[in-house]
Structures are given as structure tokens and as C-alpha cells.
């Protein structure tokens, strides 16, 4: 009896989780914070080097803060910019988790966006409750199918997904250019490549116009949060997510355990593509209202950085998406009020990524911020 | 050159890896250093190699105390180490690998490969190493790659050579050749340290043995006066059983029937060549053979991982020739893969996750699309206790466990479900004596309960200890069969069959 009790006690104790590791906390929280600080300092030095005087630098950073979180409108802009970055970033993170490097979010976003636009202008008279979900679905499905091509080629032939997705991006760019000149897509009376406008019934409605009619934030942000929860649930709660993570962390062990590697690759790619397609739909249905050449404007590539910065964790991706959204919104304000080039924001973003990718460098710059590394001590 | 370690203590934070170790290594002598994984053998030797400096104690060479600021100092002092994992560049030739870092150069820093090759040849001849200096290292078998490492050490004029688990990667024949080399080095006056956890080897090769347990020297002695049992007890700290207790052999019906199985390698050569094999319920069949004779392909074909080019597999009466890996799992085939780090486990995953790597879809652990982690974690905690996995939480990453504990996680996963056939490839490779004893007992229990067991091992002693029937595999075929329960079984006859000699 007592032996049984001690065994039960032992089983209980085995179920206890270790307290979060200090090193883990440092890596997840402190390193990114310091990386942002260093990047901002180096950004200031870059401005100095390009003959911007100190007061202007101060003004521009103030504008960065004001433009990203300084007002209701700024917050709205930040969130509006964060939504597609997060959506596409989630897809890329999903690929990373499964060991796939999906560079194709840009193309998937374009294809998904086109499908959403076409659905969005094609069915006049449909009630919004049907039309909007239909347009979103079209975006997700088109993005998923487009990425599925790369997944299928990878699984069936072993061709590398990096090359496949890069090539599919190029095809997507030209496909959009071509489609925008098709008579049934191109806006009537226009000679330049521009699509018809999305009908009101398919638009993602703005959600804070009751506070201020200028707030652009639309329902896409809710969609984004739902996607974060969904991806989190899939990755960590479901059999499919377990299979994704297993094939990423130990592809041979996953195969030996009877998981079907080829099928999983196709599913992961399709899932990632659907999220990128949804990001595209989010842009055309929520912000742009139509499609023009290159309407993806690099979101699919920035999303790679978002996924890396978020360490392929859904919450991390959300945080990184918000940061990038803030930089974008704030950057616009920087340009307007301080006259600093928007390119500088690109430099700062790049610096942040570089520093987060090199945690040892950040630890070296801020030795007092971290506990002494518990590696093999030199005595 | 005589080396003495005096009162060496090495601490890492609160953890003491070595405590007050005294060790003398003499020229012209092989010192066997025995200990389980984690006993502190490797730490001690990295101190000797100058990679770590000791927290306390000193190193004396020929009676004079020395301090090593880094590995360079130790090499200059004549201490060389042949690591378990080779540090060679496969696309370089033997001579290029040997001179790496100490290249003889001519004018204007021109690489003098002529001299290098001549020096490699000279070392070759002195010790009978027979390595072609111009061969690409990547083309050489493992045994020869190890010799390249030995040449590297000798090229740097080492007088003390440390071998870290040198036989772990070698076939039985290669071990014999390797021992010859060690003896010729010793006879030439080199001091040798031979690190291992294999008892029979240390008794064969060492002139003197020191046993390390939990960082301390717990015994020393003369190999002629010590038995394997004595050494194992010193090493583990309790008496260890080498014989596996099994119930009397009572085989049931045929469980697995392999008929004319053919499996191809990637390059379309024959890996398994028309092989026939039967495993009965309640029987352990051991497949002996030198590695690379098709054992891996056979196991992969049986578990649905390799495509079958010809022949049929029948399991429990049904045809499974075309069944997927998952289907075979479900039918009750358990598989302990030969490479636990790569194919058996996912090191970055937790113990709990690894415990359900191939059963997560089972209704015990999932409901619809969702995994019931609560149930998984409980089952994992249960299995960790039942199968003696030493850990303080099932949420620890498997990669942080010792090799023996990792193997127990796999055993727990495969044997805590309802299975009929266990296929175990190298079930105890590279793990400590205590874990080996435990795993052997578990395998024997499975057989006593009526499961069929198929074991593939390159350790003949393991095959002999466990098997009811021993078959020898050579070039993809079964070339000989022996009764494993015969008390007068001839190890020599099995060895000859493994080498391809037909009786």
C-alpha cells in the first residue's frame, strides 16, 4: 500500500514542470529588447553619418513613437499594418516548425489576393454574411493550392522548396500583371493594370469608425488573432501539429514512427499558403479595395523576418508582427514630420533582425543584462 | 614518458566531475581506464589534454609539474588523443588530413606535400598501419579512418596516446587489428591510455586497470587477476549479472515468416538477397553478422521503411509485404531502431513527447484531431518509473539524458503497448553495463510472455546471451544457423560464418 503511494507520489513529481529557465527568458525577452535598442542607436548613427543633425534625429524618433503608439489613429495604423505580416508570418513559422523554408509567402499572398479580389467584385447582390467569407475563403484556398504545388513537387521529386517557392513567386508576379489586363478583371475605362473594385458586401468592415471615422483598422485584425489561436492550437494540441513538429525536429525519427513525410510536406505547405493567401485577401478586402501590380508590397518577405523574430512560435509571431507593424506606421510618420527617409526604417528593421539572430553579440554588448553564462567555466 | 596525475579535482559550478584522482601512466604500458558513461573518464582526459585546467591538483611529466594553458601546450608536451568521433575532413587525402595545422611548408609558404607523404609512410611502416597517404579519407572504412587519427597523433610526436572508446565504431575484425596496433605502439615505448566501458576488451589489452565511478578512482588492478564480474561490480557499485535469466525455451507457432526477401540499396545493389527467416512466438532470434551485410536493410524492410523488391512477409498469418510502417505498428510490431539519436528519438522533444512518438494517434492518447496531453504525460510518468528512466520530470528534453536513459525511453515506448513481435537493432550499443543488464532482462521478459523477438547486434556476446536461435547474415543472406541454448556453442564457428567462411 505504502509502496503504491510512494510510486504515485513519484509519478506526480515527474509531472512537475521545471521553472522557466532564466536563460530561456533572457533569449525570449531580454535579447529582443536589447536588439531593438541597439538597432535604434545604430539607426541614429546612420542618420548622423548622412548629415542629419541631432535635433532632427530626436524629432524623428519621437515621430516614430507617436506614429506607432502615440494616438488612437497611430495604434489603428500599427494594427492595420501588423495584420497581414502576422498572418503570413504564421504560415512561414508553421513551415519552419516542420523543417520547411517557405520563401513563397509573397507569391501565395498575390495569388490569394487576386482570388479574393475576383470573388469580391464578381457577385453583386450577395449578402455580406455570404460574400465576405466567400472572398476570404477564395483567398485562403488559392494561396493554399499555390503553395501546395511547391509542397507536392518537393514531396514527389525532392526538388528543394526554397528554389520552388522563389520561382513560384516570380510566376505569381507576372500572373497578376497578366490578369490585371484581362477584360473581365481590369477596371472599365482604365488603360493601366488595375482591377475592378471590391464590392462593399465583400469588404472587411472597419471596426472603430464609431470612435473616429478616420480609423482604418478593419475586421482583419480579429481574423489575425483567430489565426494565431488556431495555429497555436494546431501546433501544440493536435495530432497534425505533433506530426509537423516531429518532422521538423527529427525527420528520420518521424518516418521511423510511421508518419508520412511526403503527405505532411504537402499539408504544411498548403496550410502555410492558405495563411499567406488570407494575408493577401486581408489587404485587398480590408485596405486596398482592388488589386494593382505588386500589391503585396514585400509583405511576404517581411513575414519571413517576422517568423524568425517570433522564433516560429504563434505568440512570438504576433509580437513580431506588431513590432513590424509599429515600425511601418511609425516610419511613415517619421518621414512626414522629420523628413527622414522611409528607407531608414528598413535599415532599423534589418539591424533588429541581425542582432536577434546573433544573441551572443547582444550578450557581449550588454554583459550586465544577463546572468553569467553557465557554460564550462574557465578557472 | 611517464605522466602522473596527482589529486586532480575538476568542478563545474556545484557539480564535481572528478574528485581527487591519482593516476600514473607509464611508458611502454597500456593503462585501461574503465567507467560507466558519465563517470568522469572524458573530463579527466580533457584535463590531461589541456582543454580544461583542473580545479585542484597537478600534472607531472617525468616527475616535473607542468601547466597547460590550452591543448597546444599538451600537444607540445607529447600528449595526443584519438577521439571517439573522428575529426577528419572527408574530401582531403590522408596526408592532407595528417598535416592539417602543422603543415610542412617550403619557400613562400608553399605546401610541401612530398615531405608530408614521406613522413606518413614512415609512420605507416613503423607501426604496420597500412594506410595509403593519397587515399581520400571519405573513401576509407571506419577502421582505417581511425588509423588516420592515430597517424595524426604520432605525426605530432606524441609519447602518450589516449584512445577514447576506440572500439565503439569497429567491427570485430577491425578490433583485432586495432589491438595489434596498440600493442606495437606500446612495444615502441609509448604510454597508452585506453578508455572504454567494455570489460572483455580492457582485460585483453590493458596492462593495468583503473576504474572510475562518479568521478573517483574506486579500484585499480592487474587485468590477469580480475574477472569481468569484479570489474563490473567496481564500475557499477553493485554485483552485475551477465547471464540473462529466461524461462525454458518453449516456442509457439510461427509469428513472422520472411520468404525470399530481396531489398535493394539506393544504388540498386542487393542489400538483402533472397532471404528466408522465421520467428516463432516465445523465441528470440539473434542475427549475427559484421555490419554492412544487409542487417539494416532487413530491419527496414520488416518495419515498412524500405521498399521490398521481391519476396513476401507474413505476420501472424496475414500478408504484410505492402503494409505501411504505421499499419505494422498497429498490428503489434515494435521496433527499437539502431540509431537512437537520429531514428529512435527526437532529442529536442520532451520525454513525454518521445514516449508517444509512434502511438500519439492511439485512442488512449487522442480524441478526434486533438492529442490528450494530460493522458500522455501521465502515461509517460508511469512508463518512466516502470522502465527505470532516470529523470526528474517528463518535460525534460530527451537529448539531455544519458545514452542508457535514452535507450530506456525507446524501450518503454515500444514495450508498454500491446505488441507481438519486437525487432531490436543494436539495443544496447554504447550504453552502460547497468542499463544493458536492465534492457536484456526486459527483452527476455517479452519473450517469456510469448512475444517473438528479433535481435540484430554487432556484439556477438549480446547475441549469445539472449538468443534461442542464432542466424548469421553475410552479404544479404543467411549463411549459418546455431542453437542459442546449446551450452557448447562455438563462438569460433559463428565468427567464421560472420567472416563468410562456409562450414
Q: Is A22 on the interface with B (CB under 8 A)?
A: no
In Å, how far from its chain's centre is CA A188?
A: 34
Stated length of chain A = 379
Q: Is the pLDDT of residue A374 over 60?
A: no
Residues of chain A neighbouring B52 (CB-CB closer than 8 A) = 376
Q: Nearest-CA neighbor of B209 among B39, B32, B36, B25?
A: B32
Specify which residues B278 forms β-bridges with. Answer: B257
Q: Which of B32-36, B100-104, B369-373, B407-411 has the lowest mean pLDDT?
A: B100-104
Q: Which of A297-301, B233-237, B299-303 has the lowest mean pLDDT?
A: B233-237
Taking the CB of residue B86, how many other CB atoms lie within 10 A of it? 17
Mean pLDDT of B188-199: 89
- Which residues, 6 or more positions from B249, have their beta carbon under 8 angstroms from its beta carbon? B282, B283, B468, B485
Q: How far is Cα B342 from Cα A310, in angstroms, rounded to an integer?
A: 27
Cβ contact A242–B353 (<8 Å): yes
Residues of chain A neighbouring B391 (CB-CB closer than 8 A) = 14
Residues of chain B neighbouring A238 (CB-CB closer than 8 A) = 369-371
Residues of chain A neighbouring B381 (CB-CB closer than 8 A) = 11-12, 14-15
Cβ contact B360–A242 (<8 Å): yes
Cα–Cα separations (whole angstroms), residue A308 to A21, A312, A315: 21, 6, 12
- Which uninterrupted H or E stretch holds A189? none
Taking the CB of residue A81, how many other CB atoms lie within 10 A of it? 26
Range with the largest mean pLDDT of A108-112, A156-160, B3-7? A108-112
Q: Is B499 on the interface with A (CB under 8 A)?
A: no
pTM score:
0.82
Cβ contact B358–A257 (<8 Å): yes
Q: Nearest-CA neighbor of A41 among A366, A373, A375?
A: A366
**Which pLDDT score is estimated for A3?**
55
- At residue B305 the predicted structure's pLDDT band, cuts being 50, 70 and 90, is very high
Q: How far is Cα A360 from Cα A362, in angstroms, rounded to an integer?
A: 5
- Which residues, 6 or more positions from B150, have their beta carbon under 8 angstroms from its beta carbon? B82, B127, B129, B161, B181, B185
Cβ contact A239–B360 (<8 Å): yes
Q: List the single residue in B347, B361, B377 with the smallest CB-CB distance to A15.
A: B377
The DSSP call for residue B397 is B
Mean pLDDT of B387-401: 88
**Which of B360, B367, B425 has the most A C-beta neighbours within 10 Å, making it the best mutation to test the interface with A?**
B360
Higher pLDDT, B200 or B14: B200
Residues of chain A neighbouring B373 (CB-CB closer than 8 A) = 237
How much is the mean pLDDT over chain B? 89
Task: Find residues 319-358 of chain B whose CB sits inside 8 Å of chain A.
Answer: 324-326, 328-329, 335, 337, 339, 342-349, 353, 357-358
Q: Nearest-CA neighbor of A69 among A79, A59, A60?
A: A79
Higher pLDDT, B371 or B388: B371
The pLDDT tens digits of the residues spanning A170-202 come to: 999 999 999 999 999 999 888 899 999 999 999
Q: How far is Cα B478 from Cα B461, in angstroms, rounded to an integer?
A: 19
Q: How far is Cα B66 from Cα B61, in angstroms, rounded to an integer?
A: 7
- At residue A2 the predicted structure's pLDDT band, cuts being 50, 70 and 90, is low
Tell me if residue B52 falls in helix, strand or coil: coil
Tell me how many degrees the CA angle B234-B459-B224 measures, rounded to the nearest 5: 40
Task: Find residues 235-254 of chain A whose CB sits inside 8 Å of chain B.
Answer: 237-240, 242, 245-246, 249-250, 252-254
Specify which residues B454 forms β-bridges with. Answer: B285, B423
Q: Is the pLDDT of residue B503 over 70?
A: no
- Which uninterrupted H or E stretch holds A32? helix A31-49
Which long-range CB contacts under 8 A does B203-206 form with residues at least 24 apart? B203/B228, B203/B231, B204/B179, B205/B30, B205/B32, B205/B179, B206/B30, B206/B31, B206/B32
Q: List the single residue in A258, A260, A378 with the smallest CB-CB distance to B358.
A: A258
Q: Is the pLDDT of residue A87 over 90?
A: yes
Q: Is the pLDDT of residue B186 over 70?
A: yes
Q: List the single residue in B346, B370, B381 with the smallest CB-CB distance to A253.
A: B346
**Which pLDDT score is estimated for B435?**
83
The pLDDT tens digits of the residues spanning A332-350 come to: 888 888 887 778 778 877 8
**Which of B330, B346, B376 has the most A C-beta neighbours within 10 Å, making it the best mutation to test the interface with A?**
B346
Q: How far is Cα B25 from Cα A95, in angstroms, rounded to an integer?
A: 54
Q: Is the pLDDT of residue B289 over 90?
A: no
In the A/B pair of chains, how many CB contacts fall below 8 A?
Answer: 101
Mean pLDDT of B119-148: 88
Cβ contact A257–B52 (<8 Å): no
- At residue A373 the predicted structure's pLDDT band, cuts being 50, 70 and 90, is very low
Q: How far is Cα B225 from Cα B231, in angstroms, rounded to an integer?
A: 11
Instruction: Name all domains of chain B by residue range, CATH numbers in brackets.
Output: 3-236 (3.40.50.300), 241-332+418-503 (3.40.50.300), 344-417 (no CATH)
Q: What is the 3-state secondary structure (H, E, C) of B129-189?
A: CCCCCCCEHHHCCHHHHHHHHHHHHHHCCCCEEEEECCCCCCCHHHHHHHHHHHHHHHHCC
Q: Is A53 exposed, middle or buried (0-12, 13-18, 19+ CB in 10 A)?
A: exposed
Q: How far is Cα A58 from Cα A66, in angstroms, rounded to an integer?
A: 12
Mean pLDDT of B254-259: 95
The pLDDT tens digits of the residues spanning A238-270 come to: 999 999 999 999 999 999 999 999 999 999 999
Cα–Cα separations (whole angstroms), residue B399 to A168, B2, B396, B403: 38, 38, 8, 9
The pLDDT tens digits of the residues spanning A263-276 come to: 999 999 999 999 99
- Which residues, 6 or more positions from A75, have their beta carbon under 8 angstroms from its beta carbon? A68, A69
Q: Is A257 on the interface with B (CB under 8 A)?
A: yes
Cβ contact A254–B329 (<8 Å): no
Tell me how many degrees the CA angle B216-B1-B127 measures, rounded to the nearest 5: 105
The percentage of chain B sitting over the pLDDT mark of 70, rounded to a whole number, equals 99
Contact between B193 and B160 under an 8 Å Cβ cutoff? The reply is yes
* Minimal-distance CA residue of chain B relative to A374: B13
Q: Which of A40-54, A61-75, A304-318, B463-477 has the lowest mean pLDDT?
A: A40-54
- Measure in Å the smallest separation between the Cα of B115 and chain A Cα atoms: 39
The percentage of chain B sitting over the pLDDT mark of 90, rounded to a whole number, equals 51
Contact between B338 and B299 under an 8 Å Cβ cutoff? The reply is yes
Q: List the single residue in B343, B366, B395 with the smallest CB-CB distance to A256.
A: B343
The pLDDT tens digits of the residues spanning A89-128 come to: 999 999 999 999 999 999 999 999 999 999 999 999 999 9
Cα–Cα separations (whole angstroms), residue A148 to A37, A233, A262, A300, B41: 39, 22, 12, 16, 52
Cβ contact B392–A253 (<8 Å): no
Amino acid at each position: 500500500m505504502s509502496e503504491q503511494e510512494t510510486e504515485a507520489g513519484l509519478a506526480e513529481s515527474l509531472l512537475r514542470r521545471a521553472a522557466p529557465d532564466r536563460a530561456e527568458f533572457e533569449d525570449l525577452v531580454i535579447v529582443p529588447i536589447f536588439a531593438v535598442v541597439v538597432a535604434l542607436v545604430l539607426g541614429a548613427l546612420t542618420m548622423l553619418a548622412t548629415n542629419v543633425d541631432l535635433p532632427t534625429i530626436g524629432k524623428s524618433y519621437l515621430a516614430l513613437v507617436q506614429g506607432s503608439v502615440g494616438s488612437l489613429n497611430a495604434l489603428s495604423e500599427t494594427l492595420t499594418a501588423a495584420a497581414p505580416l502576422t498572418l503570413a508570418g504564421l504560415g512561414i513559422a508553421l513551415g519552419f516548425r516542420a523543417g520547411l523554408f517557405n520563401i513563397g509567402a509573397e507569391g501565395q499572398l498575390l495569388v490569394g489576393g487576386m482570388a479574393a479580389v475576383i470573388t469580391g467584385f464578381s457577385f453583386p447582390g450577395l449578402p455580406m454574411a455570404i460574400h465576405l467569407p466567400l472572398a476570404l475563403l477564395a483567398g485562403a484556398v488559392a494561396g493554399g493550392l499555390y503553395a501546395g504545388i511547391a509542397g507536392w513537387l518537393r514531396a514527389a521529386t525532392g526538388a528543394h522548396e526554397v528554389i520552388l517557392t522563389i520561382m513560384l513567386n516570380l510566376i505569381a508576379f507576372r500572373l497578376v500583371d497578366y490578369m490585371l489586363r484581362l477584360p473581365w478583371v481590369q477596371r472599365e475605362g482604365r488603360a493601366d493594370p488595375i482591377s475592378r473594385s471590391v464590392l462593399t458586401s465583400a469588404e472587411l468592415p472597419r471596426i472603430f469608425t464609431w470612435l473616429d471615422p478616420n480609423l482604418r483598422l478593419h475586421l482583419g485584425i480579429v481574423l489575425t488573432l483567430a489565426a494565431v489561436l488556431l495555429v497555436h492550437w494546431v501546433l501544440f494540441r493536435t495530432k497534425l501539429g505533433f506530426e509537423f513538429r516531429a518532422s521538423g525536429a527529427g525527420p528520420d525519427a518521424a518516418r521511423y514512427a510511421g508518419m508520412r513525410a511526403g503527405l505532411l510536406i504537402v499539408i504544411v505547405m498548403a496550410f502555410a499558403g492558405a495563411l499567406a493567401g488570407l494575408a493577401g485577401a486581408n489587404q485587398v478586402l480590408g485596405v486596398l479595395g482592388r488589386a494593382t501590380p505588386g500589391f503585396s508590397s514585400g509583405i511576404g518577405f517581411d513575414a519571413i523576418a517576422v517568423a524568425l523574430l517570433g522564433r516560429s512560435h504563434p505568440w512570438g509571431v504576433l509580437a513580431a508582427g506588431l513590432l513590424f507593424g509599429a515600425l511601418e506606421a511609425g516610419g511613415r510618420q517619421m518621414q512626414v514630420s522629420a523628413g527622414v527617409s522611409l528607407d531608414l526604417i528598413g535599415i532599423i528593421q534589418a539591424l533588429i533582425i541581425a542582432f536577434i539572430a546573433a544573441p551572443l553579440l547582444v550578450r557581449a554588448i550588454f554583459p550586465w543584462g544577463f546572468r553569467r553564462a553557465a557554460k564550462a567555466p574557465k578557472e | 614518458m611517464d605522466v602522473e596525475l596527482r589529486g586532480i579535482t575538476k568542478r563545474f559550478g556545484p557539480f564535481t566531475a572528478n574528485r581527487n584522482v591519482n593516476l600514473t601512466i607509464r611508458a611502454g604500458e597500456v593503462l585501461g581506464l574503465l567507467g560507466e558513461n558519465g563517470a568522469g573518464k572524458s573530463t579527466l582526459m580533457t584535463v590531461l589534454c589541456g582543454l580544461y585546467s583542473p580545479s585542484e591538483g597537478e600534472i607531472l611529466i617525468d616527475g616535473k609539474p607542468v601547466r597547460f594553458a590550452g591543448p597546444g601546450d599538451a600537444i607540445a608536451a607529447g600528449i595526443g588523443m584519438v577521439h571517439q568521433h573522428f575529426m577528419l575532413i572527408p574530401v582531403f587525402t590522408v596526408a592532407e588530413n595528417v598535416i592539417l595545422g602543422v603543415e610542412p611548408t617550403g619557400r613562400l609558404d608553399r605546401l610541401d606535400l612530398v615531405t608530408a607523404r614521406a613522413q606518413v609512410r614512415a609512420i605507416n611502416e613503423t607501426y604496420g598501419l597500412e594506410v595509403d597517404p593519397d587515399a581520400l579519407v571519405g573513401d576509407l572504412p571506419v577502421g582505417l579512418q581511425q588509423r588516420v587519427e592515430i597517424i595524426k597523433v604520432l605525426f605530432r610526436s606524441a609519447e602518450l596516446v589516449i584512445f577514447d572508446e576506440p572500439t565503439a565504431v569497429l567491427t570485430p575484425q577491425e578490433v583485432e587489428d586495432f589491438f595489434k596496433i596498440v600493442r606495437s605502439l606500446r612495444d615502441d615505448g609509448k604510454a597508452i591510455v585506453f578508455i572504454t566501458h567494455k570489460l572483455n576488451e580492457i582485460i585483453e589489452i590493458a596492462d593495468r586497470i583503473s576504474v572510475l565511478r562518479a568521478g573517483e578512482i574506486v579500484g585499480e588492478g592487474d587485468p590477469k587477476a580480475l574477472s569481468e564480474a569484479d570489474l563490473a561490480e567496481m564500475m557499477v557499485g553493485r554485483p552485475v549479472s551477465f547471464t540473462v535469466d529466461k524461462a525454458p525455451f518453449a516456442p509457439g507457432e510461427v509469428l513472422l515468416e520472411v520468404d525470399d526477401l530481396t531489398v535493394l540499396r539506393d544504388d540498386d545493389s542487393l542489400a538483402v538477397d533472397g532471404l528466408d527467416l522465421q520467428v516463432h512466438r516465445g523465441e528470440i532470434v539473434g542475427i549475427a553478422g559484421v555490419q554492412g551485410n544487409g542487417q539494416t536493410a532487413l530491419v527496414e524492410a520488416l518495419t515498412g521503411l524500405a521498399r521490398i523488391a521481391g519476396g513476401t512477409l507474413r505476420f501472424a498469418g496475414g500478408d504484410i509485404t505492402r503494409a505501411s510502417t504505421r499499419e505494422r505498428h498497429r498490428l503489434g510490431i515494435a521496433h527499437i531502431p539502431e540509431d537512437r539519436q537520429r531514428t529512435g528519438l527526437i532529442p529536442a522533444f520532451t520525454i513525454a513527447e518521445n514516449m508517444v512518438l509512434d502511438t500519439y494517434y492511439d485512442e488512449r492518447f487522442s480524441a478526434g484531431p486533438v492529442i490528450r496531453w494530460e493522458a500522455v504525460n501521465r502515461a509517460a510518468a508511469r512508463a518512466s518509473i516502470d522502465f527505470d528512466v532516470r529523470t526528474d520530470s517528463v518535460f525534460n528534453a530527451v537529448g539531455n539524458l544519458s545514452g542508457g536513459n535514452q535507450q530506456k525511453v525507446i524501450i518503454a515506448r515500444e514495450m508498454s503497448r500491446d505488441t507481438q513481435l519486437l525487432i531490436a537493432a543494436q539495443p544496447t550499443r554504447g550504453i552502460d553495463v547497468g542499463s544493458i543488464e536492465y534492457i536484456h532482462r526486459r527483452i527476455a521478459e517479452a519473450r517469456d510472455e510469448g512475444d517473438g523477438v528479433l535481435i540484430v547486434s554487432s556484439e556477438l556476446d549480446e547475441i549469445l546471451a539472449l538468443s534461442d536461435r542464432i542466424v548469421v547474415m553475410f552479404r544479404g543472406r543467411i549463411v549459418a544457423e546455431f542453437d542459442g541454448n546449446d551450452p557448447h556453442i562455438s563462438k569460433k564457428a559463428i565468427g567464421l560464418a560472420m567472416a563468410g567462411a562456409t562450414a
